[in-house]
Structures are given as C-alpha cells and as structure tokens.
Structure 1
Amino acid sequence: MSRVNTVLGPIPPEELGIVAVHEHIGYGMPGSELDTKWWKSPEQRYAETVPKLRAFHEYGGGTFVDVTGICNGRDVDYYKSLSAKTGVHIVACTGFVGGDTALPFFARASVDYLAEHFVHEITVGIGGTGSSAGVIKVGVSRGGRMTELDKRIYRAAARAALATGVPILTHLAIDAENAIAIFGEEGLPLDRVLFGHADDGVNAEQTRDLWIAEQGGRVGFDTFGYETELEDPPFWARPRKERLDHFLRFIGHGHLDRALASADANCSPLGWPGVKGHTVNYLFEDLFPDLRAAGVDEATITTLFVENPADFLTIQN
C-alpha cells in the first residue's frame, strides 16, 4: 500500500490533502534552548502554535511538513500532541538543516554512520517516540557553497533515501551542481529530491531553478510571505510581486510537475524573535488569492498543493 509517514503513523497519500511542504513547528539554532532571553516554556510554545495549526486546518489544510531537523528543536512527541489536538497531519524529518547546525557528535560522524542513523529514524523510529520520519532534510551551510560535512550529509541522505524510499528536501537550492553530482554518484533519481528556497531574496539570482528541473529535480518556491513589504522584513525578504512573477515564470516554462510551494513559516521560533505577521496561513490568505488573480486555475493550484506533494512524499519501495 502506498503510504506517507506522519508522526501519528503512516497514511495513504490520498489523505494528505493540501500540503504545506516546507514548514517549522519551532526552529532554532543548537543551544538556543539555553538562552534565557529567548527561552519559552512549553505552555508558551503551545499557545503560539495551536491557533496557527487550527486555522490551517479550518482553511482546508491537511498536512504540515516540519523540516526542522536534528539539533534545531525537533520535538516529535510535541508534534504528536499537536497533530492529535488540531487534526493536521504532521510529517517529521530526519537529517540536518545544514552541516553548520550539526553538533560535534554528528559533525565527526562518517557517511555510513549518518546513513544508518537516517535509516533508523525512518524505519524504526525517532528516539523513543514510536514515530518515523517521512522526509530527509539536508542543506548548504552558510557561505553559499557545500562544505565537506554538507557533502557527507548529502551522500548519507542519498543512501538512506534509496534504502527506505523516503524523499529528500534541501535547505537552499544553491550549489546544486555539487548536490546533483553526489546524488548521481549514489544512483538516486532526482525526482526524489526537492531543492528548496529557490525563491529566497538572497540566493534567487544564483539559483539555477530551470536547470535543476531540466535535470529531473523538483524545485521548491517555499519562502512565500517573507516580503520586503513587511513592517520588519528579514534579510532574505523579497518584493511580493517579484517572487510571485518568478514562480509563474517557472511554471510557464512547462515545469508545473516539478514545482512545489510553501511558506517556510515558524510557528513558535526558538532563540530568535521570528518574523512578525508571517505564518503558514499566508498560503491561504495571500498566495492562493494572488495565484487566482494572476489567472491560475483551480486545477493548477490542486496540482501544486495536493498532487505534486503527495507524489513527492509517497514512500517509493
């Protein structure tokens, strides 16, 4: 039976509904939980997060893919309680946002060790939670080029993806040449990889989104809502129309089947203030209306937010 791993157990891909494919329940850098300036009690995190997930469900959202990763605040037991409380399917990940977020224990590990760890979290479970990861997260460290540690993580992720059938989702789509070379050496089909953040305001001009799609990769336009029009925009912000036009151009080049979109929102930021006014529900409140106003029909929206993510997340084995 076709299935997708969620924190409450595997479900058929037909039950995913509308998918926010690149999001965070609570993301922070390693050690942020020790910083008293930004520390939050479980009750505070819950109070910030539940209303956003409930609104997501009420808008018609079905599945929230949390790609926070090891060492960055991943809390699967918490995700299980949130999913049960709100009715939203939550997919958790194994892997790392980038090599520069891996604590020394993992940073010193071999490719084989990392691959075995990822496979364990997918097939046996994450710690003692009884929940299995549904995606593998990898990323390019700060600086714009993959480090040797990044390359080890990408190679381990490719081996784990082949062994388990679970897909890979990347943080940033820059330096894709190195990533695609590694995946090719490991024999991983590129349709099992979603190259994320192709639309962010820092790296969009350096991201070869069309080339990635031509190689067979999937491309994530998943920082929607981080706009220069915000009261206090982050450094990766981008004008709203510019980002939308970029997305529409990509689809217009015949790559609808390669495209996925999300907001990369943080329900309850850890160790930093977050971005005021930006939530996963930007998808329903702003992006869907913008797409419709630009002439995008409902069938295309369904392809982008239901069919493409279901195909991507379905375990291939």
Structure 2
Amino acid sequence: MARVNTVLGAIAPEELGFVAVHEHIGYGMPGSELDTQWWKSPEQRYEETVPKLRLFHENGGGTFVDATGICNGRDIPYYQSLSEKTGVHIVACTGFVGGDTALKYFAEASVDYLRRQFVHEITVGIQGSAAKAGIIKVGVSRGFRMKELDLRIYRAAAQASLETGVPIFTHLAVDVEPALTIFAEEQLPLDRVLFGHADDGVSQGKVNQQAILAAGGRLGFDTFGYDLELPDPPFWGRHRDERLEHFLSLVRAGHVDQLLASADANCSPLGWPGVKGHTVNYLFEQLIPSLRDAGVDDATIHRIFVTNPAGFLTIDG
C-alpha cells in the first residue's frame, strides 16, 4: 500500500497536500543544546514555532518535511506535539546533514552499521518511539568535497532506500559525481534522490545540474528566501531575482517534474540566532506570487508543491 511516514503514523500520499520539502523545526550543530547563550526552554521553542506552523496551515500548507538529522537537534516527541497542535503533517528524517556533523560514535561506524541504523528508524521507530522516518538525509562536508565518512553515509543511505523504499535528500548538490557513482553502483533509481540546495549562493558554479537531471535525479531549490536583500543576509544568500530566474529557466526548459522547492527555514534555531524574518511561509508570501507574476500557471505550481513531493515521498508496497 502506498504511504508516507509521518511522526503521527503513515498516511496516504494524497493526504500530504502542499509540501514544504526541506525545512527545520529546529536545527543545531552537535552540542548546541549545551550552549548557555542559546539554550531555549520548551516554552520558548513552542512560542517561536507554533505560530509559524499554524500560519503555514492557514496558508494551505499540509506537510512540513523536517531535514534535521541525527545529532542535530531532532526531537520526535516535540514534533508529535507540534503536529497535533497545528494540524500540519510532519515528516522526520534519519541520516546526517554531513559527515562532519556526525558524532565520533557514528563517524567510526561501518556502512552496514549505518544502513541498519537508518533501516531501524524507518521501519521500527526513532529514539525509542514508534515514529518512523519518512526520508533519509545525507550531505557533503564543509569544503564542498565528499569525505570518506560522507561516502560511507551515502552508500548506507542508498542501501537503506532500496530496502525500505524511503527516498533520500541531500544537503548540498556539490561534488555530485561521487554520489552519482555510489547510487549507480547500488542500482538506486535517481528519481528517489533530491539533490538539495542547488540554488544557494555559495554553491553556484559547483553544481553539475545537467548530470543530475540527465541521470533522472531531482533538483531541490530549497533555500528560497535567503536573499541578499535581507538586512543581515546569511553567507549562503543569493540575490532574489537571480535565484528565481535560475529556477524559472529550468521550468521553461521542461524540467518541472524534476524540481521541488522549499525555504530551509528554522522555526526555532538551536545554537545560533537564525535569519530574522525568514520562515517557511516565504513560500506563500513571496515565492508563489513571484512565480505567478512570471507567468507560471497554477497547474505547474501544483506540480511543484503537491504532485512532485507526493511522488517523491511515497513508499510503495
């Protein structure tokens, strides 16, 4: 039976609705929960997060895919409470944002150990809960190059994806050739992989998007809203019009079915201040009006935010 894993249980793909496919309830580097400068009480985190998710739901949002992997602040009971409070489906992930964020315990693990870890979180549950991961996160370490641990994680993720049917999304789409090689060796269909952050400002010139598209992979334009026009833009920011035109060029070239979009916003960042004013609701407040102004029809917008993510997230069988 076709299904998608959410923190409150499996649902049918048609129940997902509008999907923000790469977001964060609260992301932080390992150890950030110990930093007294940035420590937040549960009440503060709720106060910062619930209004954003409620507005997302009011705007028409159905599903929020949390890209916060192992070691980065993932909190399943909290996600379950948020989903119950707001009516938003939340999909949690297994995996790692990048090899350089894995604690030493995991950094020395074999491919088989990592595969079994991912499979357990997908088929049994995460951190002792019954909530099952609905996606696998992998990444590229800092420096824009795959390190040995990244390669182990990618291979374990490919094997776990084949075993469970759960798809993979990547943090960064740079240094893609080793990833493509691993996925080909493991015989993983590339439509099960979303190569993320293809649009961020620091990745431009480093993403071989033609190789990804030609192999059947999906491209994630999932840093919408991190604009250099912000009062205090992040280092990965990009000019708003430049990012939009990049996305539109692929829409016009006929690659709509391989595109997904999101904002990669943090509801309540852990261990860092986040980017003021940037939330998942940028998708409704800025991006979709801009797409319409550029002549993108509602049927195409529906494909990008409803049809494509449903096909991507669905587990068959």
TM-score range, shorter chain: over 0.9
3-state SS, counterpart of residue 184 of structure 2: helix
In 1, Cα distance between the equivalents of 2:210 and 2:230?
Answer: 29
Match of 2:314 in 1: 314
In 1, Cα distance between the equivalents of 2:315 and 2:102?
Answer: 26
Report the CA distance between 1:205 and its aligned residue: 2.0
Report the CA distance between 1:211 and its aligned residue: 2.3
Which is worse superposed, 205-214 or 157-166? Answer: 205-214
Match of 2:280 in 1: 280
- The one-letter amino acid paired with 2:301 is I
Query: How many pairs are equivalent?
Result: 317
Report the CA distance between 1:275 and its aligned residue: 0.2
Which is worse superposed, 210-219 or 132-141? Answer: 210-219
In the alignment, is residue 302 of structure 1 matched against residue 302 of structure 2? yes
Identity %: 75
In the alignment, is residue 262 of structure 1 matched against residue 262 of structure 2? yes
Report the CA distance between 1:156 and its aligned residue: 0.2
Match of 1:271 in 2: 271
In 2, Cα distance between the equivalents of 1:3 and 1:212?
Answer: 26
In 1, Cα distance between the equivalents of 2:204 and 2:121?
Answer: 32
Contact 1:210 1:250 in 2 (8 A): no
Deviations 1:187-212 (CA, angstroms, capped at 9, x unpaired): 10100000000000000221122321
Q: Could you state the TM-score of these two structures normalised by the residue count of structure 1?
A: 0.99
Q: Could you state the TM-score of these two structures normalised by the residue count of structure 2?
A: 0.99
Match of 1:179 in 2: 179
3-state SS, counterpart of residue 288 of structure 2: helix
Report the CA distance between 1:251 and its aligned residue: 1.5
Match of 2:232 in 1: 232
Match of 1:151 in 2: 151
3-state SS, counterpart of residue 205 of structure 1: coil
Runs of 4+ in 1 over 6 A off after TM superposition: none
In the alignment, is residue 115 of structure 1 matched against residue 132 of structure 2? no
Q: Matches of residues 212-251 of structure 1 in structure 2 within 5 Å? A: 212-251=212-251
In 1, Cα distance between the equivalents of 2:155 and 2:46?
Answer: 36
Contact 1:164 1:316 in 2 (8 A): no
- The one-letter amino acid paired with 1:205 is G
Report the CA distance between 1:56 and its aligned residue: 0.1
In 2, Cα distance between the equivalents of 1:15 and 1:316?
Answer: 15
Match of 1:40 in 2: 40
Deviations 1:100-157 (CA, angstroms, capped at 9, x unpaired): 0000000000000000000000000002221000000000000001000000000000
Deviations 1:172-223 (CA, angstroms, capped at 9, x unpaired): 0001111010011111010000000000000022112232111110000000
Which is worse superposed, 304-313 or 203-212? Answer: 203-212
Q: CA RMSD in A?
A: 0.6
Report the CA distance between 1:253 and its aligned residue: 1.6
In 1, Cα distance between the equivalents of 2:260 and 2:279?
Answer: 17
Contact 1:13 1:314 in 2 (8 A): yes
3-state SS, counterpart of residue 206 of structure 1: coil
Report the CA distance between 1:316 and its aligned residue: 3.3
Which sections of structure 1, spanning at least 5 residues, go unmatched? none
3-state SS, counterpart of residue 254 of structure 2: helix
In the alignment, is residue 292 of structure 1 matched against residue 292 of structure 2? yes
- The one-letter amino acid paired with 1:20 is A
Match of 2:80 in 1: 80
